[in-house]
Amino acid sequence: MISDVHSNLPALEAVLESIEAVGPEEIWCLGDVVGYGAQPDQCTAIVRERCAVSLNGNHDLAVTGAIDAATFSETARAAVDWTRGHVSAETLEWLASLSPEGARSGFGLFHASPRDPIWEYVLSIDQAEAGLDAQTERICLIGHSHVSLFFTRPPSTGRKSYATGAQATDGDLLDLGEGEWLLNPGSVGQPRDGDPRAAWLEIDTDDRTARYHRVEYDSVAAGAAILEAGLPSALAERLQIGR
């Protein structure tokens, strides 16, 4: 499971190498393949080829013109404008064909959240409770926030149960056998949880377990490509600190 690639080719290649070492049957992508980085066509082509399921995110939708980028930050709008001028028609057509939500093997898939698949950042217990109430599948996978985290709510035993959650770290293993879950793999291309390494999530659909992974990649090369493309320097700088 990957999310938020954001046109970062070195990070995507490193994550896919890590994924291949595990040998999953399928790779799923929760969207935002483009945006922020300097290799949108290359990343889109790889995701299109390698992922059995792909969603589109708010940056993908903004680049295709399906949503207005007026509410984006200044740097995000600059990246959208740059990407629109540097992607192929084939990339735009494929991104436009996707949806921000879906399901696979009994798991709900959302770019942002079950109650708002495009825009909602699920970062608090209250937001997680609302998402758990809205979802129809017991286990749902979300992206958008660029933070590796999880929320869970135990089965009701006659009294109301409440959600708990935490930020995930490299190697964390979760037993998903009971309760309701919202899982965020974190970001491949622009982590914002204080760990600059690229993130992905391994799901065992039979045993119902989830393991979080972080991967070193050449963030200097990714940043250099951003600067060479003329994108805002802040987009290169933040790759080094994971914020």
- The pLDDT tens digits for 130-174 are 999 999 999 999 999 999 999 999 987 777 888 999 999 999 999
Could you count the other beta carbons within 10 Å of the beta carbon of residue 90? 12
pLDDT at 114 over 80: yes
Q: Residue 154 has what DSSP assignment? A: P
Could you count the other beta carbons within 10 Å of the beta carbon of residue 51? 18
pLDDT band at 176 (very low <50, low <70, confident <90, very high): very high
Task: List Cβ neighbours of 63 (8 Å cut-off, separation of 6 or more).
Answer: 34, 35, 40, 80, 83, 84, 87, 92, 95
DSSP states along 78-132? HHHHHHHTTS-HHHHHHHHT--SEEEETTEEEESS-SS-TTT----SHHHHHHHH
Q: What number is the average pLDDT over the span 187-208?
A: 96
At residue 157, the pLDDT reads 74
At residue 159, the pLDDT reads 75
User: At 62, is the secondary structure helix, strand, or coil?
Assistant: helix
Decide if 15 contacts 198 (C-beta within 8 A).
yes
Instruction: Tell me the per-residue pLDDT of 218-232, one tens digit each, with 9 for 90 and over.
Output: 999 999 999 999 999
Q: Is the domain 9-240 a CATH 3.90.420.10 member?
A: no
User: At 152, is the secondary structure helix, strand, or coil?
Assistant: strand
Q: How far apart are CA 217 and CA 220, in angstroms?
A: 9
Angle between helix axes 219-229 and 9-22 (nearest 10 degrees) is 150
Q: What number is the average pLDDT over the span 39-49?
A: 98
For the chain, the average pLDDT equals 96
Decide if 30 contacts 4 (C-beta within 8 A).
yes
Domain boundaries, the chain: 9-240
Instruction: Tell me the per-residue pLDDT of 118-131, one tens digit each, with 9 for 90 and over.
Output: 999 999 999 999 99
At residue 146, the pLDDT reads 98
pLDDT band at 193 (very low <50, low <70, confident <90, very high): very high
What is the token pair recorded at 41?
């066509």
At residue 191, the pLDDT reads 98
Task: Classify residue 226 by burial, with Cβ atoms within 10 Å: 0-12, 13-18, 19+.
Answer: buried
At residue 90, the pLDDT reads 97
Residues above pLDDT 70, as percent of the chain: 100
